[in-house]
Amino acid sequence: MSALLSEDERALRDAVRSFLDKKVAPLVAAHEKARTFPWELLPRLYDFGYVRGGVPEAKGGDGLPMMMQAILMEEAGRCWGSLRTTVNVQGMVARVLGAAADAGQAERFLRPLLEGRRFGWFGLTEPDAGSDAGALRTTARRTGDGFVVNGSKLYITNALGCDFGILFARVVDSGGTDHGVTGLLVDAAESRFGVHDIPHMPLRSTTSCELTFDDTFVPAANVLGPIGGGLSLGMAAVNAGRLNMAMGAVGLSQACLEESIRFCRQREQFGKVIAGFQLVQQMVVEIATLTETSRLLGYHAARSIDAGEPGRYECSMAKYYCGESAGRAATLALQLHGGAGLMEESPVERYFRDAREATIPEGTSQIQILHLGKALLGHSALR
């Protein structure tokens, strides 16, 4: 689809792909096996626009168009799912800080984040509040010089590898009045809280953590944005995260296509390469079609945002279709590989596991359908 990209966009895609293929791809198998992640590589990726791209230049970022950010996420997804989700979350944290941090917070959190000296988690999901973000139960009670936080967060990506995070909690005053969901910056150096990993199937080089807060103190200076404005801040980041997830899924589908073509041209059965079998060609063509149509939806969502539109409808549709398509593409790729595809030494085994994740974070496929249904029909199936 190079014809749909500008010269600058093609140059960015080619430069990022070359770097990822040469410097990151050779590290993937060892890190997946050890369940580790090369954090030291991230600052080098920021120079391409990862994480910095969603932050305005006036705040120290690159201020990239959404189309360029989409290209970056597709290439990350093509290379490594754990990389894609890591830069996605760091980008969401950076985006929220860029929108709401005051001067002191920017100096303490945003600037070192953009320089790759600090890493942040995004604390929205709870045991009883996943898709229903408005049902958050974690509370932050006012004290004289700050807040005392109680509650828990669940499935928080890479919290073990981060030294601060954005926590979304309900601010409650001494009289018990709820002032709404608010963003709080939680610095591990000044606030004590529990964090442990929950073993999980996909993205083995990431952690998926439970955070527990038991009378955790957070200074008043760490309130991010207005009291009660946390949900709007969080949802704005989640919308961009949906497009990032969609484009990461496009990259994963592309990886499935490339590996399937390579394998089918080499594997021989019944005296000839399996690329010559009709049913094999049918499966490869389906992967290619899913990949191309997914890419078109992702590009359309990115172009819509760059044109000044909210893009919520387009991002939801891309997240839904691209995630589901990646799952189908990975299933077909594994089937084409036969028994070899079930082995951990085959990249399609990882693609299959990672593709299953593409339909869940930043709103499941079913939640995206309900958002789209409301937009089309004018009636909410939720509230």
Q: Which positions are annotated as active-site residues?
A: 362
Name the residue among 6, 41, 47 with its Cα closest to residue 24: 41
Per the structure block, which two tokens stand in for 131?
């898709």
Residue 243 CA: distances (Å) to CA of 5, 67, 317, 319, 341: 17, 10, 9, 6, 29
Per the structure block, which two tokens stand in for 379?
């009636």
AA letter at 258: E
Using only C-alpha atoms, the chain has a radius of gyration, in whole angstroms, of: 21
> What is the DSSP code string of 137-168?
--EEEE-SSEEEEEEEEEEEETGGG-SEEEEE
Cα–Cα dist 175/314, whole Å: 43
Residue with tokens 């981060």: 162
Cα–Cα dist 359/322, whole Å: 8
Cα–Cα dist 87/161, whole Å: 13
Half-sphere exposure of 319 (CA within 13 A, CB side): 29
* 8 Å CB contact between 256 and 301: no
C-alpha dihedral sign at 280, 282, 283, 285? positive
C-alpha dihedral sign at 85, 312, 310, 290? positive
* 8 Å CB contact between 198 and 208: yes
